[in-house]
Amino acid sequence: MSVKLTQQVATTFSADGALAKAIKGFSRREVQQQMAEAVSESISSRDNLVVEAGTGVGKTFAYLIPALLSSKQIIVSTGSKNLQEQLFYKDLPALLLMLGLTPKVALLKGRNNYLCQHLMETELSGASSMDTQILDDLLRINQWAGRTIDGDLGGLTSVSENSAALPLINSAKETCIGQRCDHYDVCFTRKARNRAMDARIIVVNHHLFLADRIIKETGFAELLPDSDVVIFDEAHLLPDIAVNYFGQQCSTRQIAELLERFADIYRTELRDAKQIELLSARCLTLLNEWHQALFATGDTDWRRMLSNKALSVLSWSLLKELNALQALLQGHVGRSDNLDDALEKLDANTAKLQLFFLCENNQAAYSIDYGHRYLMLRIAPIDVAKECKKLFDENIAWIFTSATLQINQDLSLFTKQLGIGKCKELLLQSPFDYANNALFCVPRHLASVSNHNAILPQFVDVCIRAIEAAKGRTFILFTSHRMLKLVAIELQRRVSYPLLVQGQANKQSLLKKYRQLGNAVLLGTGAFWEGVDVRGKLLSCVIIDKLPFVSPEDNLYRARSESISREGKDPFTEISLPQAVISLNQGVGRLIRDEKDRGVLILCDNRIVNRPYGQAFLNSLPPMARTRELDNAVQFLQQIK
C-alpha cells in the first residue's frame, strides 16, 4: 500500500492534480510534497515520523491529504482549540470537496466545552434568587440550546465567553450523574463521543488525547477508538501538556464545594445525621485558615514552605479532620446517591492532599497556584519520557509536526522529552524568501537586560522609532507582565497609533480589533508568542524585549535543574537554553506568514550576539538578513507600503 498511497499523494499535488484543479493559482511546493510523501510512508508502514515544517510549508494539507486518501482510521490532535476548529470547519471540508471523498469525520473536545442539559434545567429552576445578568445569560443559552445540534459552547455567540453563567451549565465529570440523568439519551457530550468512536478521521486536542490514553491505561473506559495513525500538529506543546497529565492536581475550590455539599445533604436528605454538618463546618473553617496562612506567604514552592512548622502543623490538622469526616460519611454509604458520589470525590481529593503534604518524590516539583479565593496544588514530574513511551503503541503510526521543534538543526531534544524511540526525522525549511523579505535587528548600544532602569527608556525609544516607521502595524512581545505594563504606560503617552494591550480583552477580541484597525500596535506576553496568524501589511514589525529564558524561580525548572545537576550536567545547557530557543522561534514566527509578507524583527537583547550561547539561537532562526543598526531597520520599514 505504501507505493500506492505515495503515488496517489504525488498525483494530488501534481500540476494537473486535484489541488491544481480546485485552487486558482496553485503552485506546487517541493517541501510540501516532500512532507506529504513522508507522511504517506509513515501511515502505510506504521513507522514513527517527526517533522519540523517551517512557516509556509503547508503542513496542514501535507498531513491531511495522505490521511484522507488512506483507508486508515486516523486521529489528528492539535495543541489549541483554534487550530482544532480550523481543521474541522475549514480545512477538512475544503479538502473533502477537492478530493471527492466522503469519510465520516468527527470533532471531539473536552467535556467542559459542551452544554449539560441537566445543569441548565437545575439552574433555571432556581432562577428567582439569581443575579440578573447571570439569569439573562442563562435564558439566552437556553434559547440557543433549542437550536444547537452539537451543544458545543464554542458556537454560542449570544453571551460573552467570560459570562459567569457558563461554568454553571458546562458539562463536568464532577456533576455528571450518568445514566440516572433524564437527558442521558440526548446528552451532547455522550453524542459527541459516540460520533468520534464511529468516525474515520477524528479531530481532538492534545489535552483530550492524553486524557483518553491515561484512562485507557487504567482499563476503566475510553473516549477515543484505537486508531491506526495519530498525527500531532503543534507537537512542540506536547511535553508541557504531558507534564500536567502525568502529574497530580488538587483544587481547594472543589474540596470547599464538597464540604458545602455534605452540609446540604444533611439539611435535605439525612436529617438524623447532624454530625455530618458539624464536621463539614469544622473542615471548612480549617480549610479557610490554611488558605489564609498560604496566601500570607505568597510562596509557590511547597518544598520551601515545609520548613514553616506552624504551616506544616495546620496542614496535617486539616487532613486529619478531613479523614475523620470520611470515616463518618462511610457509615452512611448507601443512604444517598448524592452522598456516595460526593464521598468518592472527597476520597480522591484527600489522597492527593496527603501526597502533596508528604512531598516524597524528588523527581517531581510541588507547587501552589494562587487564584482569587482558592488554590491549585500541583505535583509535576520532571521527566515524562518513560510515561509517554508507554502510551506510544507500536502498532500505531505516530506522526509529530510543528514549525518549532529543532535546536541547532537537531530534533533529538524533542524526541528525548517524549521518549519517542525509532523514528524518521525531517527538517523542512520555509519556502519563503526571508533573505530579501525580512530583516533581523539587534540594536547596538543597549544596556544589559538585567539593568531594568537603563533598558526601559532605551527599549521604549526603540519601540517608538519602529512604530512610527511601520505606521503602527507592530507586535511587541514581552517575557514578563511587569515590563509590558511599564512599556504600555510610556507608549500611551507618546504614540498616536491605537494601542491594544493584553488584559484589555481576551486574546481573540484583541486580534480581531487589531485586524479591523489596520494601524494598531499590540502588546502581549506568552499567549501572543504563538498561535497568532496575521498576514499581509497588517503586521510589518515584531519587537521582542529579551530572550525568553524561563524564570529561575519556576518550580518545575528548579526541580529539573536539581535533578540535572545531580547527574553532573549543566541545567542551563540542558534545559534553559533549549526551551528559550523554541520560545524565541515561536515569537519570530509571527512576522512572516505569507510568501508576499515583508517585515522587521527587532530583539533588544544583545546577549544573542555577545554570549557564546547566542549562536544556538541564531542557528535556529530563519535565514533573515541581519543588522546591528536601528537606522537600517527603520529604513526597511519605511519601504513597506
Task: Please say whether the beta carbons of 306 and 312 come within 8 A.
Answer: yes
pLDDT tens-digit map of 126-138: 777 778 888 898 9
Please list the residues that pair with 603 across neighbouring strands.
Answer: 544
Across 483-491, average pLDDT: 96
Query: Which among 381, 400, 417 is the end of a domain?
Result: 381
Residue 286, amino acid:
L
Output the pTM of the full model.
0.88
Residue 600 and residue 468 share a domain: yes
- Full residue range of the structural domain in which residue 612 is found: 434-638
pLDDT tens-digit map of 195-215: 989 999 999 999 999 988 887
**Using 50, 70 and 90 to split pLDDT, how confident is the model at 268?**
confident
Domain count, the chain: 4
**In sequence order, what E strands does 125-280 have?**
201-205, 229-232, 248-251
Residue 390 and residue 364 share a domain: no
pLDDT at 1 over 60: no
Domain containing residue 521: CATH number: 3.40.50.300
Residue 166 and residue 214 share a domain: no
**In sequence order, what E strands does 382-423 have?**
397-402
Q: How many residues does the chain have?
A: 641
Task: Please say whether the beta carbons of 510 and 522 come within 8 A.
Answer: yes
Residue 461 and residue 369 share a domain: no
Among 111, 156, 112, 113, smallest CA distance to 138 is for 156
Residue 505 or 37, more confident: 37
CA distance 275 to 282: 10
Residue 509 and residue 441 share a domain: yes
* Cβ neighbours around 79 below 10 Å, total: 22
Task: Please say whether the beta carbons of 404 and 589 come within 8 A.
Answer: yes
CA distance 53 to 628: 29
pLDDT at 485 over 80: yes
Query: Which among 191, 207, 222 is the end of a domain?
Result: 191
Residue 209 and residue 100 share a domain: yes
Query: Which among 381, 414, 443 is the end of a domain?
Result: 381
pLDDT recorded at residue 69: 94
pLDDT recorded at residue 220: 54
**Using 50, 70 and 90 to split pLDDT, how confident is the model at 421?**
confident
Among 513, 471, 478, smallest CA distance to 496 is for 471
Residue with the three cell numbers 510589518: 540
Across 486-509, average pLDDT: 91
- The answer for residues whose C-beta is within 8 angstroms of residue 569's C-beta and 6 or more apart is none
Residue 196 and residue 55 share a domain: yes
**Using 50, 70 and 90 to split pLDDT, how confident is the model at 217?**
low
Residue 373 and residue 388 share a domain: no
Task: Please say whether the beta carbons of 481 and 548 come within 8 A.
Answer: no
**Across the beta sheet with 364-370, what order do the strands follow?**
248-251, 375-381, 364-370
Across 175-195, average pLDDT: 89
Residue 450 and residue 418 share a domain: no
Among 576, 584, 620, smallest CA distance to 602 is for 584
Residue 14 and residue 39 share a domain: yes
| Mean pLDDT computed over every residue of the chain | 90
Please list the residues that pair with 367 across neighbouring strands.
Answer: 301, 378
CA distance 286 to 321: 8
Residue 534 and residue 449 share a domain: yes
- The answer for residues whose C-beta is within 8 angstroms of residue 381's C-beta and 6 or more apart is 243, 246, 247, 361, 363, 364, 387
Residue 514 and residue 582 share a domain: yes
* 611-636 burial: b if 16+ Cβ within 10 Å, else e: eeebebbeebbbebeebeebebbbeb
